[in-house]
Amino acid sequence: MSTVVNDEKIPNNVNLSSDKKLQRALEAWQPNFISWWKEMGPAGFQTDDVYLRTAVDVGQEGWAHFDYVKMPDYRWGIFLADPVKDRTIGFGDHMGEPVWQEIPGEHRGTLRRLIVTQGDTEPASVEQQRLLGQSCPSVYDLRNLFQVNVEEGRHLWAMVYLLQSYFGRDGREEAESLLERRSGDENKPRILGAFNEPCTDWLSFFMFTFFTDRDGKFQLLALAESAFDPLSRTTRFMLTEEAHHMFVGETGVGRVVERTAHLMKENGKDHPDDVRKLGGIDLPTIQKYLNLWYSLSLDLFGGEVSSNAASFFANGLKGRAKEDHYDDHKALEGTYAVSRFTDGKLITEDVPLRNAMNEVLRDDYVVDCQRGVDKWNRVLEAAGVSFKLTLPHRRFHRHIGLYADVFCDPTGSFIGKEAFEAKQGEWLPTEADKTFVLSLMQKPIYDPKQMAGWIAAPRIGIKGRPVDFEYVRHGEA
């Protein structure tokens, strides 16, 4: 077990004080991070006491501490999962060799890019969500939003630790740039598309934490396999926190669905207009938000056929999720069937498995998403509502890869640009839909006893506290 130090400026289990140079570099970055947090973190709640979980260790039990904290005082720390004794590389050309504690020179640039790309998503999501507190449906949800936000901040720390420890001056410059880019800013955007999309209403927030944080889960699972051991250990611990983010998304959407179903049954209404009049979010609108965030998140896995993905795998930089579930860790023999459109016709061709690693990871992601959608459908079924939510086909509304320039309907059929544009208002949120959803969220709820009318209350609270616990003591309520 590594020793945990929580009384230094930067809590850590990496023996930071033994490396004065690194410690100084991180302590120099810390005030810049705090300035970024105050500028770009949750707007309007920086002086409130929030009941938050803080990572203090990496053990199975008691890794986190729950208490009230003002967000700028949150103890963002550096925690790596305990090393696996005699760990060897689990896939690719170097399979079976000892993992690396230092970065081989030839992989420096590529690993830096991988770490920066992952790191960039963490502050980006905080920026995307910074105004949401001002329209929260309950104090319980407000707290969950802030929990996600501070942990994304810690994930940034996790990546910056790697950059500053292993990449010298380049790493320090990258660490600064991570605080300089801004989500949605044309001049200095975040690196990946979905992380520049506005997320200004709570339905989008729940879809984001369900679909987009889940991309994060699979990227972390793939990086947890990395031959670069510090990256593997860092991402393994990040996954512990990530689970809560997806819980927020899954239960969040589930509660919206539950509330809508309840309003429909209670009032004997099926028509979306009637559901809206009752103050609920109608199911077709929920489906459109699902279509949007799912398709944006599918893009995050990259192109279907990718020589980069093949070389990441060959070199042991990035594996498959749960690599030990596979039999063949070299992936030199297999092929993967990929479909592409040529003149509007779908052609399927086999590509070498290594070149399809993005698609393999996307497959796992799709299965995981479907599991959540099934759960939401069980809520509808239990309420006696026949509507079913569905994941659109992965060819629908894509901007990256083989389907970026083709126009498919949600079943994946090629329909062409004109037909797509004529129909897209049925599949993706329109301005009118967005205005309606926002209209339900005009007034924030800061009274712990209340819950907005468009969402059901959760079953249980956080860490054994009641649902109506004062999770956030909001000053100017």
| Closest approach of Fe ion to the CB of residue 315, in Å | 25
- Residue whose C-alpha is closest to residue 109's, from 306, 272, 315: 315
- Between 122 and 409, name the residue whose CB sits nearer to Fe ion: 122
- Between 248 and 263, name the residue whose CB sits nearer to Fe ion: 248
DSSP classification of residue 122: H
Beta-strand pair 472-473/345-352: unpaired
For residue 49 the two structure tokens come to 């006491």
341 SS3 class:
strand
- Residue whose C-alpha is closest to residue 252's, from 156, 331, 144: 144
Q: Percent helix, strand, coil in the chain (nearest 5)?
A: 50, 10, 40
| Closest approach of Fe ion to the CB of residue 248, in Å | 9
As a whole number of angstroms, the distance between CA 40 and CA 197 comes to 15
| Closest approach of Fe ion to the CB of residue 214, in Å | 9
- Between 48 and 152, name the residue whose CB sits nearer to Fe ion: 152
| Closest approach of Fe ion to the CB of residue 182, in Å | 18
What are the φ/ψ torsions at residue 223 (nearest 5 degrees)? -75, -25
Q: Is the dihedral of CA 153, 60, 375, 277 positive or negative?
A: negative
| Closest approach of Fe ion to the CB of residue 274, in Å | 36
Task: Give the residues lining the site for Fe ion (CB under 5 A).
Answer: 122, 152, 155, 213, 242, 245
- Between 148 and 257, name the residue whose CB sits nearer to Fe ion: 148
- Between 122 and 433, name the residue whose CB sits nearer to Fe ion: 122
| Closest approach of Fe ion to the CB of residue 347, in Å | 37
Please answer whether residues 179 and 36 qualify as being in contact, where contact means their C-beta atoms are separated by less than 8 angstroms: yes
- DSSP letters spanning 383-427: TT------PPPTTTT--SGGGTTS-B-TT--B-HHHHHHHHHHHH
- Between 246 and 310, name the residue whose CB sits nearer to Fe ion: 246
| Closest approach of Fe ion to the CB of residue 122, in Å | 5
What are the φ/ψ torsions at residue 354 (nearest 5 degrees)? -60, -35
| Closest approach of Fe ion to the CB of residue 190, in Å | 13
- Between 241 and 433, name the residue whose CB sits nearer to Fe ion: 241
- Between 174 and 242, name the residue whose CB sits nearer to Fe ion: 242
**Residue carrying the six token digits 């040529």:** 342
49 SS3 class:
strand
